[in-house]
Amino acid sequence: MSSYFPENLPDPNGNPGIDLPALATNKIIRISRLLDRQLVKLAHELGISVSDLRVIFLLGERRDCTLKEVIEGTVLDQGNTSRVVAKLVEQGLLQRSEDEDDARKTLLSLTGEGLNVLRRAAPERLKLENMIVEEFSEEERALLNAFLSRIDSLTQSEAFDLEVTGDTPAQG
Query: Does residue 172 lie within any of the structural domains?
Result: no
Q: Average pLDDT for residues 162-166, to the nearest whole number?
A: 51
What are the helix (H) ranges across the chain?
24-46, 50-62, 67-74, 78-90, 112-133, 138-155
Using pLDDT thresholds of 50, 70 and 90, give the confidence band for residue 151.
confident
Query: Does residue 86 lie within any of the structural domains?
Result: yes
Q: What pLDDT, on a 0 to 100 scale, did the predictor assign at position 169?
A: 45
Query: Does residue 132 lie within any of the structural domains?
Result: no
Using pLDDT thresholds of 50, 70 and 90, give the confidence band for residue 41.
very high
Query: Does residue 160 lie within any of the structural domains?
Result: no
Query: Does residue 71 lie within any of the structural domains?
Result: yes
Q: Say if CB 114 and CB 99 are below 8 A apart.
A: no
The answer to which of 53-57, 85-89, 130-134 has the lowest mean pLDDT is 130-134
Query: Does residue 69 lie within any of the structural domains?
Result: yes
DSSP state of 166: S
Total number of domains constituting the chain: 1
DSSP state of 97: E
Q: What pLDDT, on a 0 to 100 scale, did the predictor assign at position 17?
A: 62
Distance CA 108, CA 74 (A): 14
> Which whole-number Å values give the CA distances from 84 to 40, 70, 148, in the listed order?
16, 11, 27
Domain that holds residue 83: 22-120
Query: Does residue 102 lie within any of the structural domains?
Result: yes
Query: Does residue 145 lie within any of the structural domains?
Result: no
Is pLDDT at 164 greater than 80 in this prediction? no
Report the CATH number at residue 48. Answer: 1.10.10.10
Q: Average pLDDT for residues 46-75, to the nearest whole number?
A: 90
